[in-house]
Amino acid sequence: MAVSTGHAHWSSRWTFLLAAVGSAVGLGNIWKFPYEAGQGGGGAFVLIYLAFVFLIGTPVLIAELSLGRRGQLSPVGSMREIAKAEGRSSWWQLVGWSGVIGAFIVISFYSVIGGWTLGYFFQAMGGFSGYDAAISGENFQSFISDPLLPLLTHAVFMAITVFIVARGVQKGLEKAVTTLMPALFVILVILVIYAGVAGNFSATIDFLFSPNFENLTPRRVVEALGLAFFSLSLALGSIMTYGSYLDRSINVTRSAITISAADSAVALMSGLAIFPIVFAFEGLAANQGPGLVFVTLPIAFGQMPLGVVFGTLFFGLLLVAAITSAISLLEPSVAYVEETGALSRRNAAILIGGGAFLLGILTAYSQGDSFLSDVRLFGFDLFGLKDYLTNNIMMPVAGMFTALFVGWFVARKSMLAELAMSVRAFRIWYFLVRFAAPVAILFVFLGLLFGDDFYNLLYSVDVLIGIVWFALAIASGRLAYIRDRSPAGWFLVGLVFPFAVLFVAVATHGTIERAQLREAHKALGEPEDRDEY
């Protein structure tokens, strides 16, 4: 039952799907995924990222869409009303608040990176001929260190976003997504093929797909989780808000699976386009950080036939993908303010976009050797701090509470009615949101907080945890069997248990070695670089 109705709706199922894919596919897939995979050491990071996308992200995506659709309000309003309807505490609206605030922080830096894309779009028109690793790196450094360009492009990017949101999401969005998203996909395919021919493809396959768990630190595991949420647009209210524009005829589950598949396909393709170039050129490093895409691809565009055309198209389309995501980041807070009746949609968009622009200036000037680049808070620069806070803390926490809410605090029969899936599919989903998602997120978190101590503890009770998990899975499978005599419940055991084993293996592997390494460094009196462990 919808708690309240009466605001805008998508014009069709197709529009909704494109808008949601437009929100999901963006800089997270093409800019963030490759550089974090590069820093995370490749294979193992990619593997757990994909596991997180499908086993945690997708169930949470289904949860968020259905909460938004049921609430028909902004994330704050939807959480408040649904909690009320279910007889739960009004504190649950904090999940909505965390989303609205988190999305505001994310758009403040997202727009800066969107600005870089805009800058590169113009550069690409002039071509990148003769670019090698040194020239390209130098070019990127001088762009982000420029006193004016990052600010100007950030302003333009934010202005476009505000403009579209002010007019109402549906109107602004429909055309952009129907033609331009497929075009981006085609360009990516061309880039992958080119990189495959001209670059080092076999090293790339090796890097991205052979898991090397030694490189995985607690920090990287939580980063993979945050990235899975980030690239699916989860836990900050974007998807919940888009869900609120849905009417009840839409199959939420099928939509969620389509979104996740498209999203991870784009991320992997981006990796397949970028890393062959990284491994083919002297002087490019897989772990170089946020500049990776901007340093690597121009080299390819400088050498390939029709490079000016492809380069311009690529950065132009990436810009569109970034804008369709940015819209969904601004939308939750605008929807909230509009809903309170304090401001019109237009004024809310301008005010909030303006605020995010100001906050984003800190990010713009924290890069390269700009004047804020030396500022450190809690050991982070001003971009890294916002990224860490949202990606590694706010999103996992909000994601966990979303899963707990639908899994434990909304009546099972409300969810069953809301989702209208087959009983079998529902049972799998329900198990994932009740147990797998919260527990996995909690583990990842404890690992981040306590580092090696927690992982060593986990290692020593490894077998025990495995047994408990297995027992839980068996018990729920058995219960399902008793309830309707179908063996479907056993399927859960098959699905969840390997994941648990994988997770515990990933979480514990290499910890001992890292501890030994740290001891060795200590013994030599070398400084402790925490990231290395």
Q: What is the three-class DSSP state of 20?
A: helix
Q: What's the longest Cα–Cα distance across the chain?
A: 69
Distance CA 176, CA 316 (A): 12
Give the end-to-end CA distance of the chain in Å, rounded to a whole number: 50
From 266, 238, 329, 271, select the one nearest 25 (Cα to Cα): 266
Minimum distance of ligand TRP from residue 117's CB (angstroms):
11
Minimum distance of ligand TRP from residue 32's CB (angstroms):
7
Distance CA 507, CA 511 (A): 8
> What are the phi and psi torsion angles at 312 (to 5°)?
-65, -45
Distance CA 395, CA 64 (A): 13
Nearer to ligand TRP, 60 or 458 (CB): 60
Distance CA 457, CA 453 (A): 6
Minimum distance of ligand TRP from residue 327's CB (angstroms):
8
| Residues ≥6 apart with Cβ < 8 Å to 277 | 195, 198, 199, 284, 296, 297, 299, 300
Nearer to ligand TRP, 61 or 208 (CB): 61
Nearer to ligand TRP, 173 or 284 (CB): 173
| Residues ≥6 apart with Cβ < 8 Å to 491 | 424, 428, 477
> What are the phi and psi torsion angles at 71 (to 5°)?
-75, -35
Angle at 231 between CA 149 and CA 344, to 5 degrees: 70
Nearer to ligand TRP, 262 or 433 (CB): 262
**Cβ-contact 346, 159 below 8 angstroms:** no
From 19, 52, 17, select the one nearest 391 (Cα to Cα): 52
Minimum distance of ligand TRP from residue 65's CB (angstroms):
13
Nearer to ligand TRP, 106 or 504 (CB): 106
Distance CA 104, CA 336 (A): 12
> What are the phi and psi torsion angles at 380 (to 5°)?
-115, 155
Nearer to ligand TRP, 136 or 241 (CB): 241
Minimum distance of ligand TRP from residue 318's CB (angstroms):
10
Minimum distance of ligand TRP from residue 36's CB (angstroms):
12
Nearer to ligand TRP, 296 or 390 (CB): 390
Distance CA 507, CA 204 (A): 24
Nearer to ligand TRP, 19 or 47 (CB): 19
Nearer to ligand TRP, 316 or 477 (CB): 316
Nearer to ligand TRP, 325 or 333 (CB): 325
Distance CA 66, CA 59 (A): 11
Minimum distance of ligand TRP from residue 67's CB (angstroms):
15
Minimum distance of ligand TRP from residue 329's CB (angstroms):
5
Q: What is the three-class DSSP state of 372?
A: coil
Tokens of 389: 């806070």
User: Is residue 245 within a helix (H) or strand (E), and if so which, with residue range?
Assistant: none
Minimum distance of ligand TRP from residue 481's CB (angstroms):
38
Minimum distance of ligand TRP from residue 442's CB (angstroms):
20
Nearer to ligand TRP, 204 or 325 (CB): 325
From 294, 354, 301, 297, select the one nearest 330 (Cα to Cα): 354
Beta bridge pairs of residue 380: 377
Nearer to ligand TRP, 98 or 325 (CB): 325
Residues making contact with ligand TRP (CB under 6 A): 23-24, 26-29, 103, 106, 230-231, 233, 236, 238, 325, 328-329
Contacts by 29-32 with C-beta closer than 8 Å and gap 24+?
A: 29/231, 29/263, 29/266, 29/267, 29/270, 30/188, 30/266, 30/267, 30/270, 30/293, 30/318, 30/321, 31/113, 31/117, 31/290, 31/292, 31/293, 31/318, 32/227, 32/230, 32/231
Nearer to ligand TRP, 330 or 364 (CB): 330
Minimum distance of ligand TRP from residue 102's CB (angstroms):
7
Distance CA 25, CA 258 (A): 12
Distance CA 37, CA 212 (A): 12
Nearer to ligand TRP, 274 or 473 (CB): 274
Tokens of 218: 């607690």
- C-alpha distances out from residue 448 to 51, 119, 224, 392, 459, Å: 19, 36, 12, 9, 15
Q: Which residue number places its CB atom closest to ligand TRP?
A: 28
